[in-house]
Amino acid sequence: MIILGVSGAEAIFHDSSATLVIDGQIVASVEEERFNRKKHSDGLPVHAIAYCLRKGGVSCTDIDDVGFFLEPDVLLKRMQGDMLQRHGRVPRTIAYLAEQTAKSFRMEERLREHFVFGPHTRFHYLSHHLTHASSAFHVSGFERAAILTMDGFGERESCALYVGGPDGLAKVHEFMAFPQSLGLLYNAMAAHLGLGWDSGPGKLMGLAGYGTPDLQLFDDVIVLRDDARQPVEIDASFLDFFRLALIWSTLQKHAAEGTARTFARSSSFVRGASGLSDKAMQRFGEPRLPGDPLTERHCDIAASIQSALSRAVLQIVRQVPKWLPDETDLCLAGGVALNVTTNRCLAESGLFKRLFVTPPANDGGTSLGCALYLDSLQSRRSTYAFDVYAGPHIEDDFDIGAACQLFADRITYAKLDEAELVRRAADCLVANKLIGWVQGRMECGPRALGGRSILANPMDPGVKDALNTRVKKREGFRPYAPSVLREASADWFDLDDSPFMLLEATVHPHQRHRVPGIVHVDGTSRPQTVTESANPRYYRLIRAFYERSGVPMVLNTSFNRHGEPIVNRPEEAIAVLLETGLDDLFLGPYHIRRQGDR
Ligand SMILES: [Fe+2]
């Protein structure tokens, strides 16, 4: 059985991706942005699909089933009904949005413009939250579990409960539906603080560490109840849906015209660009323009919404046993599940024995969810072998030697055996160099986990500044994370195991001074625990660094330049070496340096 999962339709959603499953094996799962080089790409994932087919050695005519990440008719009906209810008509200014959305959602038709399918190929439009739930449960390794999905919104719901077991996956309850949405509110607050719409939530999480939460600030915005059906209610008057529709309309225009997904830095536009209402602005102040100084007040607002989010999600999770009293394990998916601070609250709550957060928790994971759900319906299988390294292989899928020759007048390079490669990389790290580490297959999901990473020495007190000024150009307040040997994790963090970097941990106070590069201002960090079986070469590198330095971890950040997706082709990695202050590049078996560097 050959099944293709597809997410992305150039409308409202982002992080489009494709996944191919053949006879129950996940052949490949990858986001379109890595190929078309548009960060958070929302386009039809034609390049990602083509890669998956190549990797599986199949053509479109072989495909039995194609699953899409959304039921467009349900969403369009909801959007139309919502506008009519609010305005009595569809306002002209946002009619473009509705029109384009309807066009983009004809996914089968649009896919057929690029690919020729077999006469037997079946197409399925699946519920968005069902595909999120599937992307977690089917790869969790749990035989049965409760699954909570939380995002901006699906067709209607923004938070839903599913149950998974040997008999399949079924929806149990919708906790929140549009316009009720914790993801949307958190995103709007990030935009209000000038952190951007697409990447804002991740930045807001980092900024929160600098502030002091004001527990009352969101008490009447996110109201908590001990009610199994509706434990959380958002006061929708703090959001302005006309402004939100304008944002999406503008994003679509940018996508259609191929222009950057950035908003003009004009105060009149920025005022509307957060999607908050005038009432909210009276509470939280005028929106911060991107680039304006961050004040203590901004940090306190960030800390307050972060704390309000964690409390709200915890309140929802407290209701889960009332619906599913026999389930002892919990899975999470949807964009809100990328919030490591909230995940930690859930892990520590004691409400469930085990917690699994799927690595591609964002919409990029829904293609995986589509493919596995369709496979499970036919195979009656519920658990699948999952390797997070599911994207292109840097040696098998590309010709690194040819890429090196292209740049031969500007680089020096040497092909090494693994022991020498690891030794040289560890030497570079000990010498406080910033290295590119591109090995094996690319990770699926937004986190770099030692496949497409920039690595540095966490002991170097100047490492954050070096990374920010020379390579990443990130805001100074954002923390960097470590990859730590799994067996040594408990000596440094109040956490044993976190293979996908999806849980916050506290760095033991007596160790903090030894690893200043990875300790956030509030003493926390976001470690990835590494085992030899999960990533042998990466494990050996960290081990080699440990033997030289006495510290069993390296600083690990994604291998990309500011505003760009993670590198995919060898040429892109070499270009970063040439155009930034990266010192050395370890690209498959090659050690590459700029000419003239010592
Ligand atoms: Fe989603």
Is the previous residue joined to 446 through a cis bond, with omega within 30 degrees of 0?
no
404 CA from centroid of ligand 1 (Å): 39
In this structure, are 299 and 232 located in the same domain?
A: yes
Residue 146 lies in a domain: no
14, 47, 129, 192: the active-site residue: 14
572 and 453 housed in the same domain: yes
Half-sphere exposure of 354 toward its Cβ, with a 13 Å CA cutoff? 14
Ligand 1 centre from 402 Cα, in Å?
39
Question: What's the rounded Cα separation, in Å, for the pair 574 and 94?
Answer: 43
CB proximity list for 473: less than 8 A, separation 6 or greater: 561, 562
CA 400, CA 569: separation in Å to the nearest integer? 9
Residue 479 falls inside a structural domain: yes
Distance 120 CA to ligand 1 centre (A): 29
Location of structure tokens 């306190």: 300
Task: Give the model's pLDDT for residue 266.
Answer: 41
Cβ atoms of 512 and 558 within 8 Å: the answer is no
- Identify whether 271 is part of a domain: no
Q: What b/e string do you get for 228-245 counting C-beta neighbours within 10 Å, with b at 16 or more?
A: eeebbebbeebbbbebbb
What CATH number has the domain bearing residue 205?
3.30.420.40
| Shared domain check, 556 and 462 | yes
Q: Whole-model pTM?
A: 0.94
- Are 295 and 327 in the same domain? yes
Does residue 502 share a domain with residue 572? yes
Q: How far is the CA of 210 from the centre of ligand 1 (A)?
A: 29
Residue 132 Cα, ligand 1 centroid: separation in angstroms?
A: 7
Same-domain status, 15 and 133: yes
Residue ending a domain, among 311, 342, 357, is 357
As a whole number of Å, the CA-based R_g of the chain is 23
Q: How far is the CA of 261 from the centre of ligand 1 (A)?
A: 19
pLDDT at residue 384, rounded to an integer? 98
Residues 337 and 373 occupy one common structural domain: no
Statement to judge: residues 376 and 398 lie in one domain: no
- Can you tell me the distance from the alpha carbon of 529 to that of 487, in angstroms, rounded to the nearest whole number? 8
Give the largest Cα separation in the chain, rounded. 70
Span from the CA of 185 to the centroid of ligand 1 (angstroms): 14
pLDDT tens series, the chain, 598 aa: 999 999 987 666 789 999 999 999 999 999 999 999 988 888 889 999 999 999 999 999 999 999 999 988 888 777 777 666 666 666 665 566 666 677 777 889 889 999 999 999 999 999 999 999 999 999 999 999 999 999 999 998 999 999 999 999 999 999 999 889 999 999 999 989 988 877 889 999 999 999 999 989 999 999 999 999 999 999 989 988 767 766 666 655 555 555 444 444 444 445 556 788 889 989 999 888 877 899 999 999 999 999 999 999 999 999 999 999 999 999 999 999 999 999 999 999 999 999 999 999 999 999 999 999 999 999 999 999 999 999 999 999 999 999 999 999 999 999 999 999 999 999 999 999 999 999 999 999 999 999 999 999 999 999 999 999 999 888 899 999 999 999 999 999 999 999 999 999 999 999 999 999 999 999 999 999 999 999 999 999 999 999 999 999 999 999 999 889 999 999 999 999 999 999 999 999 999 999 987 6
Query: CA dist 516 to 36, 93, 460, 467, Å?
Result: 36, 50, 7, 14
8 A C-beta contact, residue 538 and residue 450: yes
Question: Which amino acid would we find at residue 291?
Answer: G
Q: How far is the CA of 181 from the centre of ligand 1 (A)?
A: 11
Give the pLDDT of residue 249.
62
CA of 200 to the centre of ligand 1 (A): 16
* CA atoms of 230 and 472, how far apart (whole Å): 42
- Angle at the Cα of 186 from the Cα atoms of 185 and 188, rounded to 5 degrees: 60
The three-class DSSP label of residue 171 is strand
Tally of domains in the chain: 3
Ordered DSSP codes for 3-72? EEEEE--SSS----EEEEEETTEEEEEEETHHHH--TT--S--HHHHHHHHHHHT--GGG--EEEES--H
Check the CA dihedral 312-313-318-319 and report its sign.
positive
Q: Where are the alpha helices (DSSP H) in 236-354?
A: 241-257, 267-273, 278-284, 296-323, 340-348
For this structure, is 14 an active site residue?
A: yes
Q: Does residue 553 lie within any of the structural domains?
A: yes
21 and 123, same domain (yes or no): yes
- What gap in Å lies between CA 151 and CA 103, rounded to an integer? 24
Residues 558, 563, 569: CA angle, nearest 5 degrees:
60
* 515 and 380 in a common domain: no
> Distance between CA atoms of 541 and 552, rounded to whole angstroms?
10
The identity of residue 404, as a single letter, is C
Cβ(289)–Cβ(194) under 8 Å?
Answer: yes
Q: What CATH number should be reported for the domain holding residue 472?
A: 3.90.870.20
Beta pairing partners, 525: 505
Provide the residue type at 163 as one letter: V
| Domain assignment of residue 332, given as a range | 182-239+276-357
Do 280 and 373 share a structural domain?
A: no
Q: Distance (Å, rounded) from C-alpha 302 to C-alpha 188?
A: 12
Q: Is the residue at 269 inside a domain?
A: no
The answer as to whether 90 is a domain residue is no
Handedness of CA 466, 469, 470, 473 (dihedral sign): positive
Distance 180 CA to ligand 1 centre (A): 14
What is the 129 CA–ligand 1 centroid distance (Å)?
7
Residue 465's nearest CA partner among 480, 476, 479, 453 is 476
Within-domain flag for 248: no
User: Does a structural domain hold residue 170?
Assistant: no
CA 253 to ligand 1 centroid distance, Å:
21
Expressed in angstroms and rounded, the spacing between residue 37 Cα and the centre of ligand 1 is 21
**Beta carbons of 24 and 84 less than 8 angstroms apart:** no
- 444: CB partners within 8 A, 6+ apart: 17, 29, 30, 31, 359, 360, 364, 365, 368, 388, 389, 390, 391
- Say yes or no: 478 and 382 in one domain: no
